[in-house]
Amino acid sequence: MSSANANEITIAVDPDVHLRQDEYDPRDWNSETTSIGSSIYRGIMENGRRYQSLKEDEYAFPADEQQFDTYDAVHLAAIVGDSAEENPLFHAPIEPKNVLDIGTGKGSWAVDVADMFPEAWVRGVDLFPPPVTWLPPNCVLEVDDVTQDWTWSQKFDLIHLRILACAFTPEETADIMKKCYDNLQPGGWIEQFEIHPNVYCDDASIAEDNVLYDIGPRCDAAANKSGKRMDLVKTMRDSIAKAGFVDIHEKATKWPIGPWPREKSKKELGSINLHHWLTGIEGYTMFLMTKFGDPEPWTQEEVRVYNAQMRKALLNPHHHPYQRTRRVWARKPFPEEEKARDEKEKEKKEKKEKVEAEAAAAAAAKQKSPEIKEEKE
86, 66 Cβ separation under 8 angstroms: no
159, 97 Cβ separation under 8 angstroms: no
Q: What is the predicted pLDDT for the residue at 304?
A: 96
Q: Quickly state the pLDDT bin for 7 (edges 50, 70, 90).
A: low
Contacts of 148 (CB under 8 A, 6+ apart): none
Could you tell me how far CA 128 lies from the centroid of its own chain? 18
Q: Quickly state the pLDDT bin for 263 (edges 50, 70, 90).
A: very high
User: Domain-by-domain residue ranges, the chain?
Assistant: 26-333, 337-377
Share of the chain above pLDDT 70, in %: 84
42 pLDDT above the threshold of 70: no
Q: What is the predicted pLDDT for the residue at 360?
A: 86
Q: Is the peptide bond before 317 cis (omega within 30 degrees of 0)?
A: no
| CATH class for the region spanning 26-333 | alpha beta
CA distance 182 to 176: 10
Q: What is the predicted pLDDT for the residue at 38?
A: 38
CA distance 121 to 107: 14
H helix runs in the chain, sequence order: 65-81, 108-116, 170-182, 215-226, 232-242, 264-292, 300-314, 335-376
Contacts of 369 (CB under 8 A, 6+ apart): none
Angle, helices 264-292 vs 300-314, to 10°: value is: 160
Query: What are the pLDDT digits (tens) for 163-222?
Result: 999 999 999 999 999 999 999 999 999 999 999 999 999 999 999 999 999 999 999 999
Query: What are the pLDDT digits (tens) for 156-165?
Result: 999 999 999 9
Contacts of 39 (CB under 8 A, 6+ apart): 129
CA distance 51 to 357: 55
Q: What is the DSSP letter of 149?
A: -
Query: What are the pLDDT digits (tens) for 100-143?
Result: 999 998 899 999 999 999 999 999 999 887 778 789 999 999 98
32 pLDDT above the threshold of 50: no
Share of the chain above pLDDT 90, in %: 66
Task: Identify the H or E element spanning 249.
Answer: strand 246-256
Quote the mean pLDDT of the chain.
87
325 pLDDT above the threshold of 90: yes
Query: What are the pLDDT digits (tens) for 222-259?
Result: 999 999 999 999 999 999 999 999 999 999 999 999 99
135, 31 Cβ separation under 8 angstroms: no
